[in-house]
């Protein structure tokens, strides 16, 4: 099992371009991030190269996340912004060697759910076709509605059905343990039932989205189940650190398990 850190939510003690090196200094060989709105992409490319970290995944443009946006692909009024971002995101992915991008489909509008799902599928299908030409895969994820509003996909079943609707071999489901615990629980049963379609995993503890060990999820069991099921992808740490101290929030994962294959028995869970 390989852990990596989402530097859009961790290492906020540093300017964004410096977080790649901070993650490396903390012992991680890989990172992920949300679409870096407002950042200089050339500076990001340089920061990634100088730090030597792998980028396991990043998001397509999801709109103004700070203002509450959670994706554009299913938005009838703004989906063109998603389409415009596709070539830019794929170009960045190629330059930094990232082989996986995540697409957020956005919020449901009253009375327009089916229309939006079809629109989102059409747009993700287009992005997948462009990504396939470059040997890049895509993921879509389900997100909890408690903190994120009426997100179109908010259960494992909905996410997996959407992947089937898109119908492209290079599109998989991103299983976010935190979001799915908030929405439906039954983590191990759902992982067992859907592992073949899961291409990326993210974790945070519930209900406060803090580091593992601070909430109700039995991560020792969940991670052991992932490993037993043969999951070979990265596990992204996507949580808000307790006390806003990233390094302190990593005490549960010893340095030797932060880079390469982790020894689950060594984790403080």
pLDDT digits (tens, 9 = 90+) for 1-13: 899 999 999 999 9
Answer whether 70's CB lies under 8 Å from 95's CB: no
Q: What is the CATH number of the domain that holds 40?
A: 3.20.20.150
CA angle centred on 106, ends 102 and 110, rounded to 5°: 160
Host domain of residue 141: 2-261
Query: Does residue 267 lie in a domain region?
Result: no
* Structural domain total, the chain: 1
| Average pLDDT of the residues in 39-45 | 97
Is the pTM higher than 0.95? The answer reads yes
CA angle centred on 193, ends 142 and 221, rounded to 5°: 85
Inter-CA distances, 41 with 38, 50, 193, 205, 228, Å: 9, 14, 39, 31, 38
Query: Does residue 189 lie in a domain region?
Result: yes
Q: Alpha carbon 211 to chain centroid distance? A: 16
Q: Among residues 4, 32, 54, 238, which one is catalytic?
A: 238
Residue 16 has a CB neighbour count (10 Å cut-off) of 18
Query: Does residue 257 lie in a domain region?
Result: yes
244 falls in which pLDDT band (50, 70, 90)? confident
Is there a catalytic annotation at residue 238? yes
DSSP 46-74: HHHHHHT-EEEEEEPP-S-GGGT--BSTT
Q: Among residues 141, 147, 169, 184, which one is catalytic?
A: 141
Query: Does residue 156 lie in a domain region?
Result: yes
pLDDT of 106 over the 90 cut: yes
Query: Does residue 149 lie in a domain region?
Result: yes
Query: Does residue 269 lie in a domain region?
Result: no
Record the tokens describing residue 23, joined without a space. Answer: 């993650």
Question: Do the bridges between strand 234-237 and strand 198-203 make them parallel or antiparallel, or are there none, so unpaired?
Answer: parallel
pLDDT tens across 182-240, in order? 999 999 999 999 999 999 999 999 999 999 999 999 999 999 999 999 999 999 999 99
């Amino acid at each position: 099992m390989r852990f990596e850190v989402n530097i859009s939510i961790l290492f906020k003690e540093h300017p964004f371009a410096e977080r790649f090196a901070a993650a490396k200094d903390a012992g991680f060989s890989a990172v992920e991030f949300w679409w870096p709105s407002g950042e200089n992409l050339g500076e990001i490319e340089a920061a990634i190269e100088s730090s030597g970290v792998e980028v396991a995944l990043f998001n397509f443009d999801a709109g103004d996340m700070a203002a509450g946006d959670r994706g554009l692909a299913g938005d009838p009024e703004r989906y063109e912004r998603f389409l415009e971002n596709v070539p830019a995101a794929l170009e960045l992915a190629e330059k930094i060697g990232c082989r996986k991008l995540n697409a957020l489909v956005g919020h449901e509008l009253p009375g327009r759910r089916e229309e939006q799902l079809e629109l989102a599928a059409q747009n993700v299908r287009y992005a997948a076709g462009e990504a396939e030409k470059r040997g890049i895969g895509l993921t879509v994820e389900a997100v909890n509605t408690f903190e994120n509003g009426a997100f179109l996909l908010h259960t494992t079943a909905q996410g997996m059905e959407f992947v089937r609707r898109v119908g492209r071999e290079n599109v998989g489901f991103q299983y976010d343990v935190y979001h799915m615990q908030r929405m439906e629980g039954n983590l191990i049963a759902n992982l067992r039932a859907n592992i073949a379609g899961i291409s990326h995993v993210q974790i945070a503890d519930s209900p406060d989205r803090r580091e593992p060990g601070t909430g109700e999820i039995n991560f020792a069991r969940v991670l052991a189940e992932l490993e037993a099921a043969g999951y070979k992808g990265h596990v992204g740490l996507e949580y808000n650190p307790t006390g806003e101290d990233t390094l302190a929030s990593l005490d549960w994962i010893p340095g030797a398990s932060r880079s390469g294959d982790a020894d689950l028995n060594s984790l403080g869970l």
